[in-house]
Structure 1
C-alpha cells in the first residue's frame, strides 16, 4: 500500500499524522500539489509538484494510484475515480468513500453545486475540528493495521 495525498487542501494536522505513520510503518506517503510543500526528511515521505490547473493534481493521483493504495482527499470526484480503480479513499474528517457510498456522495455534491450555481447560499463545510482529526486517526490506524505486509522475497 502507498498513501497518496491530495495535498493542496489537506489540513496540516492530517499531513503530520501521515508523516508519523510513514516513519512508523515504512508506508510511502506522497503529497501531490501544484506548489512545493515542506516535508520532513524521510525516505518514506515524498512530494510531487504538478502544474497549476483544473484537476491536474487529481488526474496525477488517479494515474499513479494502484489497487490497494489509499488516497487522502475531500474531493468527491477524485475519490470516485480512485474507488473505481480499486483504491481506497479517506476524507480528512475520517470518512471512507467506498463503492457502496460514493454514488450518494457524488449525488449530494452535484445537488449542492446545482443549488450554488442557481444563487442559493449553501454555506461551506464546518471548520476542521479536533474531533475530525481524531476520527481520521482512528480510521487511518485501522487501515494501516489491516494492510497486507509486503510479499517476502525468495531466498
Structure 2
C-alpha cells in the first residue's frame, strides 16, 4: 500500500500533499520534531520524533519502502529513500531517481565546500514560487498514480 512520507519541518507543500492524498485515498505521515498542529484529516497522521539532528530523516528512511513516496528536499535523505525503493519528489516538483541522485549529491557537496571557503557568502537560495507549487502538484500526482497502478 502506498504511503506519502513528508519531511514536514519547513515543508512548504503540506497542504498540497494532503489534497492529492485525499483525492486518491492515500495515507500521509507528516514527520517532524514538533511544532506542527495535528491534522484533522483521517488520512493524515503526525509522527513526532525525538529532538536531534536528522532524527526525522532517520525515521523516514527506516519506514519507507517500495511504492511509497517521500516528499523532501534533503538530498542525503532522498538517497536513502531511493535505496529503500521509494519514490522521491522535492518541494519544487523535481523527481529524484537513481539516475540523477548521484550528480545532485556531488553538486551539493561541492557547493557546501565552496560556501565554507567563502566567509562573505550571503547564502539563501531562490524563493519558492507558484510555478514550483504547480510543478510539485503535477509530479506528486504522476508518482502517486504510477504507484497505485503498480501496487
Normalised TM-score (structure 1)? 0.89
- Determine if contact 1:34/1:51 at 8 Å carries over to the other structure: yes
5+ unaligned residues in a row in structure 1: which ranges? Answer: none
Q: Is the 8 A contact 1:116 1:122 kept in 2?
A: no
Match of 1:9, SS state, is coil
Matched pairs, number: 149
Question: What's the Cα RMSD here?
Answer: 1.6
Asked whether the equivalents of residues 8 and 32 of structure 1 are also in contact (C-alpha less than 8 Å), the reply is yes
* 1:78-89 matched pairs, under 5 angstroms: 78-89=77-88
Alignment deviations for residues 102-140 of structure 1 (CA, whole Å, 9 cap, x no partner): 000000000011112212526322010001001101111
Q: Is the 8 A contact 1:115 1:122 kept in 2?
A: no
CA drift of 1:40 comes to: 3.3
8 Å CA contact retained: 1:71, 1:87: yes
Q: Who is 1:103 aligned against?
A: 102
CA distance in 2, matches of 1:23, 1:105: 31
Q: Structure with the greater relative contact order (CA < 8 A, sep ≥ 6): 1 or 2? A: 2
Q: In 2, distance between residues paired with 1:98 and 1:133?
A: 20
Alpha-carbon distance in 2 for matches of 1:26, 1:119: 48
In structure 2, the gaps of 5 or more residues are none
Alpha-carbon separation, structure 2, partners of 1:110 and 1:63? 24
Question: Does the 8 A contact of 1:79 with 1:97 survive in 2?
Answer: yes
Listed as ranges, the matches of 1:74-153 within 5 Å are 74-119=73-118, 121=121, 123-148=123-148
